[in-house]
Structure 1
């Protein structure tokens, strides 16, 4: 099973005796980064958290995902979710800002938090900020700190609204995807349903977990449409064929498993729906231009 950092471990790592603020609507807490005592030498490990985190940070850092590295040099706001493994490497000694953590339950009043692209895409999860944007976010985080310490009867309702405002401020900076079709509502619905169906299969956490849909025909059958119709919709909305999207997502998960687990190649192949390990090895080499064994070795070095 892949390692998951629970809230109790998170507070222990921060040397915090206070286990945060729980209410009927879930867990919420906020910290000033400069007030935290972080261990100077931390073993690089790719883990998932059991909670969501929004970090407003100024300084130099590197966020290592299992399939890419993203540098923060200056000010940025960073969104992380429980589905994605990552390791945060602090580079500059001085780090300032705020860190807010919360559980899925805390956000449920506003719907499904996974619907917001800042929590879906790694490309949109790390947003560099201009000085005026930093001031806007600082004001919101400072208000959350104040309200959390207060005794207002409905403070958690207010905190939910402030958290929602932070997310919307970020979402406003994410470019809207323009559809290449003038009458594309149906195609967009197909593309959205396809993506949701594919992402529900991940992350893979157990060796006996096997993805069910790994071919255009399997997805088309589940969506009850012709495979050509599915391919046309995805090509129009996402710019890639069904096979390309499936293969890229399977490759991404393969890299995560090779880098983040000690599972055998055969176990990974089985979980990703390959009948034979050699079929997976051929797929990986074709897509990544490197063998699975070599990729794993390089990622461990």
Structure 2
């Protein structure tokens, strides 16, 4: 794109508040375009590397990219054949819409979000039609074409956010897995019980949640999702395992064992143990060799 053409391109963009174009027909536009005061939605097919804030994304195939003018980014085109569509639009153009939300709070544009989405062929064809509709309206004399363009942008954003749950679920599952691992490691570190005069410090799901600085409901959901068992079940099973070891391999009386496992009264311990095992502590001790 020549210098004069670049100037005209930027002038039209500033005047209208948006500009939509097809990359394969004007391939230099995205390479020479350097203004950072406009949001960008770009659908491209080919191989590219996008540097976005402190992260880099290397993709091959069709992607959707969401550029936020408040976040520094750069784009490297690696493919020799590269095509797609781009729309650039200003915050002022977007906020004219009565239903406009802050773009900086959008999961697609916000800092810390994922600015790149992989697109399958069916979705590519659908979005291609939307971009072509925007190009058609941009060239028309229709009095309300700005509203139509904003509606098309809304549609692209909503279609894109439909692709987000899988990514969010993956991130949530990874977070749940990490929390569950930390919980199980912390649980195991409470054992073995070395002396009867130092009772078990963490006995309830709330105790573990407090220690891990998370809400107990979040801990319970995470552990249940990853292991299929509740936090309380894991704690109870581990206490029972330790109780059996103490009954079989120490000479502590039942009251001492109950106290060491955090029970205020031996009757509480007896009831808990029988509920969990179907047997009494004395019966288990009697089986010790």
If the TM-score is normalised by the length of the shorter chain, which range does it land in?
Answer: 0.5 to 0.7
After superposition, residues 210-229 of structure 1 pair within 5 angstroms as none
Q: Higher helix share goes to which structure?
A: 2
After superposition, residues 31-46 of structure 1 pair within 5 angstroms as 31-38=21-28
Change (3 A) 1:59 1:128: same
Aligned length: 176
Equivalent-residue separation in structure 2 for 1:67 and 1:115 (angstroms): 19
Name 1:99's counterpart in structure 2.
86
Equivalent-residue separation in structure 1 for 2:127 and 2:46 (angstroms): 16
2:43 is the counterpart of 1:56: yes
Change (3 A) 1:118 1:62: same
Equivalent-residue separation in structure 1 for 2:3 and 2:108 (angstroms): 28
Q: 1:37 Cα deviation (Å)? A: 4.7
Per the normalisation by structure 2, the TM-score is: 0.52
Name 1:15's counterpart in structure 2.
6
Q: 1:22 Cα deviation (Å)? A: 5.3
- Aligned to 2:17, the other structure's residue is in SS state strand
Q: 1:120 Cα deviation (Å)? A: 1.5
Change (3 A) 1:106 1:41: closer
Name 2:124's counterpart in structure 1.
134
Equivalent-residue separation in structure 1 for 2:30 and 2:108 (angstroms): 29
2:139 is the counterpart of 1:149: yes
Q: Is the 2:45–2:63 Cα contact (8 Å) retained in structure 1?
A: yes
Give structure 2 stretches of 5+ with no counterpart.
Answer: 173-209, 223-289
After superposition, residues 200-215 of structure 1 pair within 5 angstroms as none
User: Which structure ranks higher in relative contact order (CA pairs < 8 Å, sequence separation ≥ 6)?
Assistant: 1
Correspondent of 1:74 among 61, 69, 84:
61
Name 1:262's counterpart in structure 2.
none
Q: 1:14 Cα deviation (Å)? A: 6.8
Equivalent-residue separation in structure 1 for 2:2 and 2:93 (angstroms): 18
Q: Cα deviations across residues 174-205 of structure 1 (Å, max 9, x unaligned)?
A: 01757x9xxxxxxxxxxxxxxxxxxxxxxxxx
Q: Is the 1:13–1:38 Cα contact (8 Å) retained in structure 2?
A: no
Q: Is the 1:48–1:85 Cα contact (8 Å) retained in structure 2?
A: no
Q: 1:106 Cα deviation (Å)? A: 1.2
Q: Is the 1:58–1:97 Cα contact (8 Å) retained in structure 2?
A: yes
- Aligned to 1:134, the other structure's residue is in SS state helix
